[in-house]
Amino acid sequence: MTVKGIAVIGAGYWGPNLIRNLQAHPEWDLRWVCDLDSERAARAVGQAPGVRVTTSLDDVLDDPAVVAVAVATPAATHTAVVLSSLEAGRHVLVEKPLAPSLAEGQKLVEVAEDRGLVLMCDHTYCYTPAVLKIRELVRGGELGDIQYFDSVRVNLGLVQNDIDVLWDLGPHDLSILDFILPEDMRPTSIAATGADPVGAGHLCVGYLTMPLGNKAVAHVHLNWLSPKKVRTTLIGGSRRMVVWDDLDPSQRVSVYDRGVELQGTQGDARRQAQVAYRLGDMVAPALPEREALQGVAGEFASAIAEHRAPLTDGRSGLRVLELLEAAGRSLEQGGGFVNIGAES
């Protein structure tokens, strides 16, 4: 195990979480915290010895002991910060979304690949024990053929000033969808609808619908205006079904041996009589309670050491951006389906 020098860029909302986890991880040596507000950076560092504070990214990149940076600045600044870091030869971990646009994200991925550097997206939920277990179940075939992915991510606030609810909350569910599904089931089109009932200037409530392979469908419900916080995902398969409730620490993942089948191939008039319901047992897998960011930090270190792409690499970030931009085109066109990657 080789300890690597790292810096955190941005000490606002998410930066302190990265700082704490990198300080606690045995493969990282946190050397710098950079933020335009030096007092905020100092507060985030606390009493940790050997961690320097600066308001200048150049100070960080001039330190040869820093081999990587973790970027937790506002999304609009990601391109400039990440690009400067890559051009200085540093590996980069960047919080969601990868960039404020697909074109800028593609530039970052190209530079990282040309220079042989690791560019990793901090799609944090993908490193929770719950999502890792769901990925294992889906990709291992234990659920059978996937029939649907239905996700609800709602709460009261925080209403953002610079992005809508799709760009704020959507990357979580879209990155999870990308992470758990096999490549041949990735969405190729998307329809988006939503509303701004409070006059915030952009969507506060949004709905995304994405056809998947094998006649399956994915649906994501996002809302800043819900009186209750809900973090629930249902995944239906031909053999088993999964419920993930991220707010239930005693039983985050439940696997149901239940389903619906049509018996025979009779005509529509008799189809109702041919429906069979399977009502088997429910199993709640034992999952460790581990902070997801420890998994992020470990995967980033391992990808660098092993000269490989991380599980949530820059290209996974591009796929999320493709979906978000296509959702924007759908909204402009009245909520109809648009192809992923198609030009407006």
Q: What's the average pLDDT block by block, 10 residues per block, for the chain (344 residues)?
A: 90 95 95 96 89 97 97 95 98 97 97 98 97 97 96 93 93 97 93 96 97 92 97 96 95 92 64 74 92 96 97 97 97 95 52
Q: Which of helix, strand or coil describes residue 265?
A: coil
Axis-axis angle for helices 165-180, 129-139 (nearest 10): 50
State the pLDDT at residue 268: 59
Supply 84's token pair. Answer: 């400067």
- Name the residue with tokens 């946190």: 30
State the pLDDT at residue 266: 58
State the pLDDT at residue 265: 59
State the pLDDT at residue 261: 78
State the pLDDT at residue 1: 59
State the pLDDT at residue 263: 72
Preceding amide of 158 cis, omega within 30: yes
State the pLDDT at residue 344: 37
In the chain, the domains with their CATH numbers are: 4-123+292-312 (3.40.50.720), 126-290+324-338 (3.30.360.10)
Q: Where are the beta strands (DSSP E) in 56-188?
A: 66-71, 91-95, 119-122, 146-156
State the pLDDT at residue 342: 55
- Name the residue with tokens 């937790």: 72
Dihedral, 202, 207, 211, 216 alpha carbons, nearest 10: 160
- Over the range 138-170, which residues count as b (16 or more CB within 10 Å of their CB) and which as e? beeeebeebbebebbbbbeeebbeebbbbbbbb
Model-level pTM?
0.92
The C-alpha atoms of residue 109 and residue 82 are separated, in whole angstroms, by 10
Task: Tell how far CA 249 is from the center of its chain.
Answer: 20
Half-sphere exposure of residue 227, counting CA atoms within 13 Å on the CB side?
0
The C-alpha atoms of residue 326 and residue 339 are separated, in whole angstroms, by 7
Smallest CA-to-CA distance from 182 within 220, 151, 152, 141 is with 141
CB burial of residue 129 (10 Å; 0-12, 13-18, 19+): middle
Handedness of CA 243, 245, 251, 252 (dihedral sign): positive
State the pLDDT at residue 236: 96
